[in-house]
Copies of this chain bind each other. A is one copy, B any other.
Amino acid sequence: MAANILVVEDEPAIQELLAFNLQQAGHHVISATSAERAYTLLRDTLPDLILLDWMLPGVSGIEFARRLKAEAFTKAIPIIMLTARGEEQDKISGFETGADDYITKPFSPRELLARIKAVLRRRAPQMTDDPAEIGGLRLDPGSHRVTGDGKPVELGPTEFRLLHFLMTHAERVHSRSQLLDQVWGNQVFVEDRTVDVHIRRLRRALEETGHEHLVQTVRGSGYRFSENA
């Protein structure tokens, strides 16, 4: 899977433990010991997921999470909160933070990795770098390359993201507004019909290698990526 994970944790021991386990699993880890530092890091690169300690010096984890969910450019990043046992009982509403999941200390590395994987898959399968290959069409997010039966396919940025989303959510119908939310981002104001045009551009590009049939129209519902007619 190999995700970029930002760990925000003030206690060095836990910090190291987390970093070790995550790296062991092939993830790339960025560390911050406070919300402020984390925020600075975020300006450079956006991670695929944030592990956030509930209790932080200065700006608390809860507060930080809320801030992340409020800002457009960090809104979509999944957050997993680290909480100490029993904290849950007393502290403020966990949901208000918008965290995607919680892990209660102490936790096993296996549980940690499992939850990370689950969150990434649930939240944004197209964010993982796993290559997708369906019906002879192959999309590799890592190298940002698409090939149909080995031959390269040229795509614009939007068509690439669109195809990536469709391929990582194949066999399902997606309405135009769902696609706008997922591919364009949910704060963008764009006409529904614009999706049609990009579907058209995607199809035209796929015609080169004869894979345009994989992008299917479901009248009255939206579009679907499927191997089957």
A176 to chain B: closest CB distance in Å?
A: 12
A75 and B20 form a contact (CB under 8 A): yes
B96 and A17 form a contact (CB under 8 A): yes
Please tell me if A218 contacts chain B, counting CB pairs below 8 Å. yes
Name the one of B14, B92, B102, B172 contacting A108, with C-beta atoms under 8 angstroms.
B102
A98 closest partner in B (C-beta): B17
Please tell me if A144 contacts chain B, counting CB pairs below 8 Å. yes
**Alpha-carbon gap, A16 to B16, bound state (A):** 34
Residue ranges of A at the interface with B (Cβ–Cβ < 8 Å) = 2, 13-14, 16-17, 20-21, 23-24, 26, 28, 66, 69-70, 75, 84-85, 88, 92-96, 98-102, 105-110, 112, 123, 142-144, 152, 156-157, 171-173, 175, 177-178, 181, 186, 218-221, 224, 226, 228-229
- How many identical subunits does the complex contain? 2
B93 and A105 form a contact (CB under 8 A): yes
B95 and A105 form a contact (CB under 8 A): yes
B175 and A2 form a contact (CB under 8 A): yes
Q: Inside 8 A of A13's CB, which chain B residues have their CB?
A: 66, 70, 96
A177 closest partner in B (C-beta): B28
Q: Inside 8 A of A226's CB, which chain B residues have their CB?
A: 143
Q: Inside 8 A of A69's CB, which chain B residues have their CB?
A: 16-17, 20
